[in-house]
Structure 1
Amino acid sequence: MKSPVFEISITGSFYTLLLPIAIIKPFLDKNIKRVKAKASFQGKELSFHGAFQKRNDNYYMMFGKRYQKELGIFPNDYFQLQFFEDDSKYGVDVPEEFEAVMYSDYEAHQVFETLTDGRKRGLIYAIARYKNSQTRIDKTLLLCENLKRGVRDPREMLKSF
């Protein structure tokens, strides 16, 4: 499932997109609130995962400063956006290092799977932000140890004790 390509600009606060109901209604009708998105502006493209968030009678999506900077978008610029059904397991791209380490540690993986979907995504994002492959491996190993120790505070999960 995918939406047509449509034009949009950043509204209100500098990090949100006011979504047209006509575009997202087919997703909402199927109870799909997390999607993959493809944004393009002046020949640059960016893919990301996002969620439709309802406030009052409108739907919004976060479009962070990092995405704006990557595409070279300013608040008054119009850019193209398209949504796709997100068929990923966690609703986010999982670094291969994270997957390899997590699946090699059965006990930690079992504990990880008991976390809420949002907590899982947050931890995956935290690991993915490291540019160096070895750092992603080291941080995932640390996460596995902390999960097995019973650490559940997200601020503590990537710290060594």
Structure 2
Amino acid sequence: MQITFTSIISSAEDGTNYGGVYLNIIKVKRKVVADLLDPDNALTRVIMQINGEGATHRALHPDGNGNYFILISKEIQKEHRVDDGEEIEITLRPDDSKYGMPLPEEVSELWAMDEEARRVFHLLTLGRQRSMLYLMGKPKGAATRVKKTVQIHEYLKSTNGVLDSKELNAYIKADNANWK
């Protein structure tokens, strides 16, 4: 099932309680997405197309007023050549992927070789798993993605799957100094 509707890229300060936290959003009326919603989950994962192009994994966030919004980054706006205030066509379909985003190839390869890395990763909450997958998949170069994947998993193994973001950043920074 998928739905298509039009909306305007607007500031999070216009009509949500998240002004100052998020920058740009796409407002979504509850009645428009009612058939896509999972009644057991306040945060529903979807795959979004903008103006019939691309496929981006996103979340429907409750706006505090009975409706929803989707975060839209400047990066996504640039990729789809859309601007603030512009009316766009949105197509949404349920995201039934395991992690709510693509699994980077480097991660699946590491897990095939290192069961402990896989185990500690899955001790994280689903949201933190997505955050870590995003960090591991973001670098453009394959070698950098491999390095980041190994660093994150080595950190998680050293903490038995307990994630402290500041500690992880310090771990990566110290490890990067060793790679030079």
Pairwise same-fold verdict (TM > 0.5):
yes
Is the CA contact 1:46–1:67 (under 8 Å) kept in the aligned structure 2?
no
Seq. identity, %:
31
- 1:128 equivalent in structure 2: 137
**Amino acid aligned to 1:152:** L
- 2:2 equivalent in structure 1: 2
Is the CA contact 1:105–1:144 (under 8 Å) kept in the aligned structure 2?
no
Query: Which ranges in structure 1 are unaligned for 5 or more consecutive residues?
Result: none
Task: Report how far residue 29 of structure 1 moved.
Answer: 5.4
User: Counterparts of 1:81-160 in structure 2 under 5 Å?
Assistant: 81-150=90-159, 152-157=163-168, 159=172, 160=174
Distance 1:31 1:84, change over 3 A: farther
- 2:46 equivalent in structure 1: 35
Is the CA contact 1:35–1:85 (under 8 Å) kept in the aligned structure 2?
yes
Task: Report how far residue 30 of structure 1 moved.
Answer: 5.1
- The alignment's TM-score, normalised by the length of structure 2, stands at 0.79
- The alignment's TM-score, normalised by the length of structure 1, stands at 0.88
| Number of equivalent positions | 157
Query: Which ranges in structure 2 are unaligned for 5 or more consecutive residues?
Result: 13-22, 176-180
Q: What RMSD, in angstroms, separates the aligned Cα atoms of the two structures?
A: 1.9
Separation (CA, whole Å) in 2 of partners of 1:21 and 1:56: 10
SS of the aligned residue for 2:88 comes to strand
Task: Report how far residue 31 of structure 1 moved.
Answer: 4.5
Task: Report how far residue 56 of structure 1 moved.
Answer: 2.1
Separation (CA, whole Å) in 1 of partners of 2:38 and 2:132: 30
